[in-house]
């Protein structure tokens, strides 16, 4: 009697192999997705996160706008020279294996990837892109419509105060962002005076000079980020990316996948179109990448460490001084603007008490879908925080606040329109304790 056992072993082996592989993703086609996930955290296009409603005059009945204060991040920029080189080298090293391998990409995605050329322009490192210029120009144009009493006026240095960071590696992109904003308001930046902050730049780039923050936060590992990035959620995502690209299991690690994602989110703002490498990810995968980044920015620039947001007090002080000067008749300024970076925005919003969650972001809290700390929403490229001061017939002063052109209720207020005196009193302790050099001293 003969026993036939080989087929059974083959079936068993097949089952085990199937169970060891992540589910197939070959039913997803990035190129034909009508609304792909572009939640790229700090590299999110402004157009994804801004108020999409047609801008309109934000007038308050019985009141006149008398001053607008704003802080804005620069628009889309090129990566650093080192980052461009690292991403380019790695993608070139796997490109042919993906194209010629057993990948799960649709025909459209595969064609786009076949025609891809690396983005490596070191001469443009960290400079504003055309997309970035257009983002700030749009912002200027939109607020000209929202506050015509202040911005739909001929430019004069007597009425408009515009400043940008002095960061040697980033001053050009903040300066050019300010220029683009001016073009959106006045049709040209020619003749507009832009003030570069001196050394040290405690108003906009304070975190670069804050020794206490650098030692206690910036130079320390983020334990929750390490836990998440080395945990099962990320490991499963890495496997899915490998399978989707047709690469040998174990070839990629999280750092490698992060380089692919970097190409995905950076090329959109440079080439004015999606990178074919975005096809490596499904929407589910991108949620994982976004959360990984959110954790890092949360612990680096937000609530867990007091110093991360206490150092943003000069911006609050500048805002209060600007409004007080106009109210007291000591200033005729219509606009006070500052152009900085992502940490400028994150830390300032935290200092105001916005985007605060009841529970912290942790590795185990993923996906934490209802979290308020979602950097894609509040700190995309060209993100901005704006306060408009109104003088009303009742001799009272009102304030309307915006984040990325959305009206927001600032802590201490009950509505989108808030009494200035109430806000001033709420912020007074921040202003009175704003000894920035003392706050940042170390040890």
pLDDT tens sequence across 109-154: 999 999 999 999 999 999 999 999 999 999 999 999 999 999 999 9
**Closest C-alpha among 196, 192, 285, 288 to residue 244:** 285
pLDDT in tens, 282-304: 999 999 999 999 999 999 999 99
What DSSP string describes 356-418?
A: --SS---GGGTT-TT-S--HHHHSSTT-EEEEEEEEETTS-EEEEEEETTEE---TT-SSSEE
Cβ–Cβ under 8 Å, residues 71 and 345: yes
Q: Please, which pLDDT band fits residue 259 given cuts at 50, 70 and 90? A: very high
State mean pLDDT over 382-405.
Answer: 97
Residue 258: pLDDT over 80: yes
Within 302-341, residue ranges assigned H as helices are 306-310, 313-327
Give residue 88's pLDDT: 97
CA gap 334, 168 in Å, rounded:
29
pLDDT in tens, 172-185: 999 999 999 999 99
State mean pLDDT over 86-108.
Answer: 97
Q: Please, which pLDDT band fits residue 24 given cuts at 50, 70 and 90? A: low
State mean pLDDT over 29-51.
Answer: 95
| Domain ranges (residues) in the chain | 43-78+131-210+312-352+379-443, 82-125+216-310
pLDDT in tens, 213-240: 999 999 999 999 999 999 999 999 999 9
Cβ–Cβ under 8 Å, residues 30 and 109: yes
List the CATH code of the domain at 43-78+131-210+312-352+379-443: 3.40.50.1240
Judged by DSSP in three states, 334 sits in: coil
The burial of 252, by beta-carbon neighbours within 10 Å (0-12 exposed, 13-18 middle, 19 or more buried), is given as buried
Residue 362: pLDDT over 50: yes
At CA 42, angle to CA 416 and CA 120, rounded to 5? 150
**Tokens 């190409």 -> residue:** 263
Cβ–Cβ under 8 Å, residues 152 and 144: yes
State mean pLDDT over 435-440.
Answer: 97
Cβ–Cβ under 8 Å, residues 76 and 131: yes
Give residue 273's pLDDT: 81
Residue 325: pLDDT over 50: yes
Structure token digits, residue 411: 């802590």
**Closest C-alpha among 350, 341, 240, 234 to residue 292:** 234
Cβ–Cβ under 8 Å, residues 280 and 112: no
Q: How many CB atoms lie within 10 A of CB 24?
A: 11
Structure token digits, residue 19: 């169970």
Give residue 167's pLDDT: 62
CA gap 193, 155 in Å, rounded:
10
């Amino acid at each position: 009697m003969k026993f036939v056992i080989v087929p059974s072993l083959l079936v068993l082996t097949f089952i085990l192999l199937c169970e060891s592989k992540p589910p197939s993703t070959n039913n997803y086609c990035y190129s034909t997705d009508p609304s792909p996930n572009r939640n790229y955290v700090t590299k999110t296009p402004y157009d994804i996160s801004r108020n999409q409603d047609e801008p309109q005059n934000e007038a308050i009945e019985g009141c006149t706008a008398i001053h607008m204060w704003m802080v804005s991040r620069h628009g889309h920029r090129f990566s650093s020279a080192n980052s461009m080189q690292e991403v380019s080298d790695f993608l070139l090293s796997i490109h042919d294996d993906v194209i010629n391998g057993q990948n799960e990409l649709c025909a459209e995605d595969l064609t786009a990837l076949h025609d891809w050329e690396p983005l490596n322009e070191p001469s443009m490192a960290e400079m504003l892109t055309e997309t970035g210029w257009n983002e700030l120009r749009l912002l200027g144009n939109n607020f000209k419509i929202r506050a015509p009493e202040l911005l739909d006026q001929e430019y004069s240095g007597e009425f408009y105060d515009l400043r940008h960071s002095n960061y040697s590696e980033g001053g050009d992109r903040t300066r050019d962002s300010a220029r683009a904003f001016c073009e959106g308001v006045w049709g040209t930046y020619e003749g507009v005076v832009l003030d570069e902050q001196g050394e040290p730049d405690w108003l906009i780039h304070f975190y670069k000079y804050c020794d206490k923050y650098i030692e206690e936060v910036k130079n320390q590992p983020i334990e929750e980020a390490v836990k998440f990035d080395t945990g099962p959620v990320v490991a499963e995502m890495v496997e899915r990316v490998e399978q989707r690209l047709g690469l040998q299991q174990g070839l990629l690690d999280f750092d490698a996948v992060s380089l692919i994602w970097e190409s995905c989110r950076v090329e959109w703002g440079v080439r004015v179109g999606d990178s074919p490498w975005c096809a490596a990810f499904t929407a589910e995968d991108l949620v994982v990448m976004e959360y990984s980044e959110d954790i890092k920015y949360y612990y680096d620039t937000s609530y867990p460490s007091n110093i991360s947001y206490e150092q943003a007090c000069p911006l609050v002080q500048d805002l209060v001084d600007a409004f007080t000067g106009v109210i007291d008749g000591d200033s005729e300024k219509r606009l006070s603007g500052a152009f900085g970076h992502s940490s400028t925005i994150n830390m300032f919003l935290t200092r105001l008490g916005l985007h605060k969650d009841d529970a912290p972001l942790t590795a185990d809290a993923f996906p934490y879908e209802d979290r308020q700390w979602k950097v894609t929403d509040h700190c995309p490229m060209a993100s901005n925080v704006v306060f408009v001061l109104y003088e009303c017939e009742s001799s009272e002063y009102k304030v309307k606040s915006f984040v990325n052109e959305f009206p927001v209720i600032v802590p201490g207020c009950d509505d989108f329109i808030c009494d200035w005196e109430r806000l001033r009193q709420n912020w007074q302790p921040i202003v009175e304790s704003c000894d920035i050099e003392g706050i940042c001293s170390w040890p």
